[in-house]
Structure formats: C-alpha cells, structure tokens
Amino acid sequence: MPLQITILSCNGILAMNNNNSIGIFDSGIGGVSIWKEIHQLLPHEHTIYLADSKHAPYGQKSPEEILELSIKNTELLLEKKCKLIVVACNTATTNAIKHLRANYNIPFIGIEPAIKPAALKSKTKTIGVLATKGTLTSELFHHTSGLYSDNITIIEQVGKGLVELIESGKINSREMDNLLNEYLSPMLEKNIDYLVLGCTHYPFLIDKLTKILPKNITVIDSGKAVATQVKTVLEQQQLLTKNKTHSKNIFYTNTNTTVLSDILDNNCLVSKLDF
Ligand code: DGL
C-alpha cells in the first residue's frame, strides 16, 4: 500500500499530491470504457470512479440539470482529493466542462464525439454520429460538427433507449438489436463509412455493432485519445504518480452494484455510495 501524504497549505487548502487519485465520473457505467483505457496506459495511477446511475440517462435531461449533476459529481471527487477529473461522459462534457474549468482549480479532461478523425478519413464523405440528445443538441457539438460540415455529410442519430438498456444489463437483448437496427439503417442507406460513437456507454455495444455493420464501416470512439490526454496533462503539471506498485481503483455507484461489477474484473472494488 503506497504511503499517502496529505499536505495542507497555510490557508488550509489541500495541496496537490502526485499520489492522489484521478477522479472519473459518468452518468453510469459508460465511463468504465474510458477508465479501462486510462488504467491500461497509466496502470500505477490510483483512480476513483463515480457511476451516477441513479440519475441516468443524462442525455435526456436539460443543460441546466446536466450541469447541476456534473457539479455534484465534481465536488464529491474533490472531497476525495482527486488531482485531475475526467468527465467520462460526452453529454456532461458538451454541456458542463466549460463551467467546471472556469470554477474549479483542477485540470479537467473531457470527451467529445471523434468527428475530426472520421471526417478527415471518410472516402464516402458521409459519416454517422450516434450520441445522446444532450450531446447532439449542445453548443459544443454544433461548433465541432460545423467545422467539418462544408465537406462532409454528418448523419446524426439520437441513441434513445440504448443507455437505459445498458444500465439495466440488457446489452444482449432483442430490444437492443431492434433499436440498433432502427438507428443504423438510415446511416447505411446514406452510405456512411465511419460511425462515431458519441457516448461512452456505446463501446460496450461494439460486438453487436460489428455484426450489424458491413465490413467497410469503421467504428471509432475517443477513449484512447482521452487516456493519452490524461497522461499528457499529468506530465505537464508534474502530477504523474510516484507509485510503482499496484494501483488502488475504487468504484462507487449510487444504485445496485451488480451491473458495474459485471463489467469490471474481479479485482475491482465496487461500493454503494449515496450521491
Ligand atoms: N455516457 C454518457 C455519454 O457519454 C451519457 C449517457 C446518458 O446518461 O445519457 O454521453
């Protein structure tokens, strides 16, 4: 167990400690797809993950509600002395990260649909984006998609109902197959060659998607890019951990622990917390 030293500055504010945890939050289990990338790249970093499944889906909520929930999650991670926060949720990033960065003195890393690489690589000049309503209607998403819409047709599709099924452990269900077929058909008709997954829950559907989609369609998400950015920022801020042994990874959920435990391996500790 690494030695944790808490250093208080003279005004009582916690000074940043390299061995403090990286905090990660999402509306539920989706951000685990990001946690996995971060843990693979930075295996010695301690992490604290918040799955706010009680309030999922964020994607159907108003920008004000999404901001309020993002603030609640941020403050809990700050109480737990996290040194950097990953907003592992496209919906929360596109609606709240600007506010979080302006109001809390800690680095934030967010995630947005990977439109840029898809737009630059597309040969059919048509790409699909599957994301939540909250993401697709956000100002940030409009700004990013606007940068590419002169040369590329972007087919946007709200993945209504997908997060609810994933959160209730129904990835392999008939309802899921029906929804995916319904959402992907219009994109296939328009001849997309890239499908951008704009929600951190959707990488858990990758096996299903590769069965439904023709081989010429590439599915991309931003998980690896987020992990790389976390490493870059920790390096820049000289906040990389000094820990050289196994990291401590704590997962909190505010609903039952089963669905979260099922997508993690057995060594991960999942606890229930009211938040
Ligand atoms: N996983 C989240 C995202 O990336 C939010 C899903 C939701 O709660 O609607 O957008």
- How far apart are alpha carbons 175 and 177 in whole angstroms? 6
Pocket residues: Cβ below 6 A from ligand 1: 26-27, 30, 56-59, 89-91, 132, 135, 163, 199-201
pLDDT (tens, 9 = 90+) of the chain, 275 residues, equals 334 443 443 333 445 789 999 999 999 999 999 999 999 999 999 999 999 999 999 999 999 999 999 999 999 999 999 999 999 999 999 999 999 999 999 999 999 999 999 999 999 999 999 999 999 999 999 999 999 988 999 999 999 999 999 999 999 999 999 999 999 999 999 999 999 999 999 999 999 999 999 999 999 999 999 999 999 999 999 999 999 999 999 999 999 999 999 999 877 889 999 99
82 tagged catalytic: no
What does the pLDDT read at residue 15?
56
Ligand 1 centre to CA of 71 (Å) is 16
Ligand 1 centre from 206 Cα, in Å? 16
Cα-based angle 226, 45, 196 (whole degrees, multiple of 5): 15
CB atoms within 10 A of CB 218: 16
Are the beta carbons of 162 and 199 closer than 8 angstroms? yes
CB neighbourhood size of 255 (10 A): 18
**Is residue 247 within 8 Å of residue 47, measured between CB atoms?**
yes
Alpha-carbon gap, residue 37 to 40, rounded angstroms: 5
State pLDDT tens for residues 167-220.
Answer: 999 999 999 999 999 999 999 999 999 999 999 999 999 999 999 999 999 999
Output the residue whose Cα is nearest ligand 1's atom 2.
Answer: 89
Q: C-alpha angle 193/198/200, rounded to 5°?
A: 125
For the sheet with 47-51, list strands across it. Answer: 108-109, 84-87, 22-26, 47-51, 249-253, 269-272
For residue 61, the ligand 1 atom closest to its alpha carbon is 9
Using the atom order of ligand 1, give the atom closest to the CA of residue 59. Answer: 9
CA 27 / ligand 1 centre spacing (Å)? 6
Closest ligand 1 atom to 31 CA: 1
On whether the CB atoms of residues 38 and 227 are closer than 8 A, the answer is yes
Q: Which one of the listed residues 10, 82, 89, 268 is annotated catalytic?
A: 89
Mutate to test the pocket of ligand 1, among 24, 25, 27 (most ligand atoms within 8 A of CB): 27
In sequence order, what E strands does 180-255 have?
A: 194-198, 218-220, 249-253
Protein residue closest via CA to atom 8 of ligand 1:
57
Q: Which atom of ligand 1 is nearest to the CA of 57?
A: 8
Structure confidence at residue 265 (pLDDT): 80
Q: What's the 200 CA to ligand 1 centre distance in angstroms? A: 6
Complete edge-to-edge strand list for the sheet that includes strand 218-220:
153-158, 126-131, 194-198, 218-220
Looking up tokens 């295996």, which residue turns up?
43
pLDDT score recorded for residue 54: 97
Q: What token pair was written down for 116?
A: 């840029």
* Residue 268 falls in the annotated catalytic set: no
